[in-house]
Structure 1
Amino acid sequence: MAENQKEDIEKVIEELQEQVKESPENVIAHHHLGLVYMKVGKMEEAAKSLERALEIDPLSVESLINLGAIYFGKGDISKAEELNEKALKILPEAAQAHANLGLIRQQQDQIEKAIESYEKAAKYNPNLASVWMNLTSVLTMKGEDERALKAAKKAVELEPDSPLAHNNLAVALYFGEDFKKAKQHMEKAELLGYSVDPNFKASLDQKLG
């Protein structure tokens, strides 16, 4: 992190700490403080701030979702699932909560449920590139090549500089037997810094002769 940026974030933290000290019931300040702590990797402090926000306002969907992300990162899948499901009971169209549940279902090897969650996330917010990338992965795992290709193309359209999106598209094109385009996107992924699977690369080269 650049020194100036670090100083700016520390200043923001100090200002938010002062706000919550002066107004202990200011749910927005607690929530924003939690987000800033997350940004700098202070997850314990972030969790405390978000939990305080939820004590004040148990219906704070964003606080539930972000706290769920912290628990997911800690490996507490059960708690992460509980928090995201609670968010969806309050706001069924919360795209990020559906996306997070997709990741949870995927980790639990519940592929059909993961696909369902990602598709709901995409329905409520079609501009989340990460959702399309994750959807590509699970559809590829399931062997639904045509749907995977559509999702992969959408991810690249939304985030053209994402190495993962290009790699996913390369894989989807490979299974769609468009080997020439697959190589183009594989090379683009490498150019952007992605470490392409050597076995995939070798197989693609073999297909191209």
Structure 2
Amino acid sequence: MNPAKRCGRKAILASLLVLVALWPLAAWAHVESGQAGGFLSGLSHPVSGLDHVVAMIAVGLWGAQLGMPALWVLPVAFPMLMAFGGMLGLIGIPLPGVEIGIALSAVVLGALVLGRVRLPLAVAVIVVACFAVFHGHAHGTELQAGQNAMLYSLGFVIATGLLHGVGITSGLIQRWEPGAQILRGAGALVMAAGLYFLWGAAT
């Protein structure tokens, strides 16, 4: 099978995984409003802010550039540490410089994609995990009153995984030289967006 067909099949598989992940949403109409609201609010929260979106997609892009095992380790490490940060936010433990940390995550991750930087797996995980805590804390502190904290956390972890999936699927184009350059361009855009967010957070 040629590379184009393999890429197409992987893209279809990724789309099916997204549909399977979202399919249970239909059932939430039959549970208590606080529970449904908590899950749906958590699911929508990561995509409600461009700063979260670009950083989470960048994790997938960088993982695709690094290849196995980083391809799956980074998208697993990020939600896990993000859930930890979310717990800190939910129980009211402060974390200084959250908005700056989120903005820096886009700057650094974008620069890593732009430069096609290959770090040892352990270092790459540490970089991703540190930024994940800031993203999670921001989600945790924004839980609305009356909503289920556990389901809210589950929602934003699932949404984060889906955004990583978008980045990984998009990163498949790096197998061809023009695609690799496009991917580096995407990293530049992420970094530029991060600098904009950083300016906003610092002023």
* Bigger relative contact order (CA 8 A; separation at least 6): 2
TM-score of the aligned structures, taking structure 2 as reference length: 0.25
Of the two, which has the highest radius of gyration?
1
TM-score of the aligned structures, taking structure 1 as reference length: 0.25
